Amino acid sequence: MRPAARPRRIGVLGCADIARRRMLPSMARQPLVRLAAVASRDAGRAAAFAAEFGCAAVTGYDALLARDDIDAVYLPLPPALHVRWSLRALEAGKHVLCEKPFAPDAVQARLAVDAARKHGLLLMESFMFLHHAQHAEVLRLLGSGAIGELRSVTAEFAIPRLASGALASTLPEVGAYPVRAAQLLAGSELAVLGAGSGETYGSALLATPQGVTVHLTHGLDHAYRNRYALWGSGGRISLDRAYSTPDDHVPVIHLERGGSREHLTLPPDSQFTNVIGAFARAVADGTGFERAAQDIMRQAELMDLVGAGAI
Ligand SMILES: NC(=O)c1ccc[n+]([C@@H]2O[C@H](COP(=O)([O-])OP(=O)(O)OC[C@H]3O[C@@H](n4cnc5c(N)ncnc54)[C@H](OP(=O)(O)O)[C@@H]3O)[C@@H](O)[C@H]2O)c1
């Protein structure tokens, strides 16, 4: 039997909200990693985070990257800083798990992806939802012919306007999820047939070479919707809580076929614990680096095309 790999030692760049609420508690439950240090621009913030999560406190991101007790970094900085700090981390010899959206466009994404390839390091965009077991079950049903041949997909992620009135950048922050789901469900060979958007919302129509159509919608000033559906020649599958899925959520896959409706209940799962586990496993095995690089590039290219409303 292969001996268990030692836990990968993780450093965190920035005391981000998502790190505190979701990722660091999930890391504590993942035996494949050990949180070694957290860095902040502010010494007090780093110390408070480190005390809460039981790791070293570091002032300044470069100081963390210079440490030799770190194998990899989790990078939850604001999107505009993702490429710059990924490059710095890769140049310092660290593997990188970076929050989405990885880059503002494919040209920027290529800079970091090329650096990861050059240094032989893993660079992964942290789309947690992909690592929730509910999607593997949907793909298993689809592959087993449960709804016949796939004809169309819809994927929707939209949230109400924040009480503060603040708006994030709509397509990169929210539209990124349906664009990533489209590739999971319909494959990566997608052409963008058209797209439209307002300040806080947008939609796009994509198609595979076989003519499967994919309709994506996102928004930041909408009634809440967090789902996708697959419609085939013999039935339909739909899933709620597809992208943002709390650890205690009990997933239900709705399957309609032959005039009947089934509601398949799955056990809860933790997509945050799973994504950091998948990252650590890939680092330990030295596999999946090229796949992760291609995933980043394909997502960035599709986001560019959707943003341009390409035909
Ligand atoms: N995967 C998911 O489910 C999910 C959910 C929400 C957000 N996200 C993504 O996670 C990332 C972080 O989001 P968040 O809402 O957690 O961010 P946040 O709370 O604003 O934290 C970002 C951190 O970046 C650091 N930082 C460095 N330079 C900064 C600057 N110029 N302005 C502001 N902060 C700066 C700060 O840490 P220090 O001051 O300690 O250095 C700050 O705490 C984003 O890419 C977002 O899209 C992902």
What is the distance in A from the centroid of ligand 1 to the CA of 98? 11
Interior/surface letters 262-281, b for 16+ CB within 10 angstroms, e for the rest? eebebeebbbbbbbbbbbbe
Output the CA 99–ligand 1 centroid distance in Å. 9
Question: Residue 170's pLDDT band (boundaries 50, 70, 90)?
Answer: confident
> Among the atoms of ligand 1, which is closest to the Cα of residue 128?
1
Q: Grade residue 168 by pLDDT with cuts at 50, 70 and 90.
A: low
Ligand 1 site residues (CB inside 6 A) read 14-18, 40-42, 45, 76-79, 81, 99-100, 126, 128, 173
Residues serving a catalytic function are 100
- What pLDDT is attached to residue 54? 97
Q: Cα of 230 to ligand 1 centre, how many Å?
A: 33
Output the CA torsion sign for 99, 104, 110, 111. Answer: negative
| Residues 14-53 pLDDT 10s | 999 999 999 999 999 999 999 999 999 999 999 999 999 9
Each residue of 262-275: pLDDT tens digit?
A: 999 999 999 999 99
Give the tokens for residue 89.
Answer: 């981390």
Q: How confident is the model at residue 172 (pLDDT cuts 50, 70, 90)?
A: confident
Q: For ligand 1, what atom is nearest to the CA of residue 79?
A: 45
* Nearest-5° Cα angle at 157, 15 to 135: 90
H/E stretch holding 226: strand 225-232
The domain limits of the chain are 8-129+273-289, 133-268
Domain 8-129+273-289, classified CATH 3.40.228.10, yes or no: no
| Confidence band, pLDDT 50/70/90 cuts, at residue 1 | low
CA 198 to ligand 1 centroid distance, Å:
25
The length of the chain in residues reads 311
Please identify, by atom number, the ligand 1 atom nearest to the C-alpha of residue 20. 16
Distance from the CA of 36 to the center of ligand 1, in angstroms? 19
Q: What is the pLDDT of residue 171?
A: 81
For ligand 1, what atom is nearest to the CA of residue 61?
Answer: 41
* Mean pLDDT confidence for 187-191: 96
- Confidence at 163, pLDDT banded by 50, 70, 90: confident
Checking if the pLDDT of 215 tops 60, the result is yes
161 or 2: which carries more pLDDT confidence?
161
* pLDDT exceeds cutoff 70 at 161: yes
Which residues are within 8 A (CB) of 302 and not within 5 positions of it... i.e. 6 or more apart?
179, 182, 183, 190, 192, 206
What is the pLDDT at residue 51? 98
What's the average model confidence in pLDDT over 214-225? 95
* Distance, CA of 26 to CA of 20 (rounded, Å): 10
Cα separation of 93 and 146, whole Å?
46
- Which residue from 17, 125, 162 has its CB within 8 A of the most atoms of ligand 1, so it is best to mutate? 17
> Has domain 133-268 been given CATH number 3.40.50.2000?
no
The overall average pLDDT reported for the chain is 95
